Amino acid sequence: MNHLKRAIPLGFLAGALSVLIFHQGTVFLLHHLAGLMPTPGFSFRPVPPYGVPQLFSLMFWGGIWGIVIALCLRLLPVPDLLFGFLFGAIVCSAFGWYVVTAMKGLPPFDGLWVFDRMWRALLLNGAFGWGTVFLMRPMSIRG
């Protein structure tokens, strides 16, 4: 039980910071250096239903995913950075494509087969997952 006391807050912190540094940093670089993103990232545009700035909303949900990643790393003997990238790219993207779109009243996997949207989601969420695990390394989440 003691490992949960450590993994939960540190996982949340690593996930929230990973959104700020790795996810949004990748958006920023893809927008400014390659012109591959429609927006530059770090948006403070209010998002429904509460009007919270988009960056803070992403950081909150990144923190929640960070907890999940931290708990998985405590329980599974997997290569951490590879696991983080694949977890972010596959699990977080699939969650967004299926659950989040359904919550917004859109059909499941809305836009999934639009390659331009798909590769960006996989890359950005993969960068988030990798960054989360990278930030967890000095915190000794694995025990």
Average pLDDT rounded to a whole number, residues 11-21: 98
* Element at 125 (helix H, strand E): helix 115-136
| Contact criterion met (CB below 8 Å) for 141 and 10 | yes
Query: How many other C-beta atoms can be found within 10 angstroms of the C-beta atom of residue 4?
Result: 13
The whole-number pLDDT of residue 140 equals 78
pLDDT in tens, 87-141: 999 999 999 888 888 888 888 766 666 777 889 999 999 999 999 999 999 987 7
Q: Where are the domains of the chain?
A: 2-139
pLDDT in tens, 43-81: 999 998 899 999 999 999 999 999 999 999 998 999 999
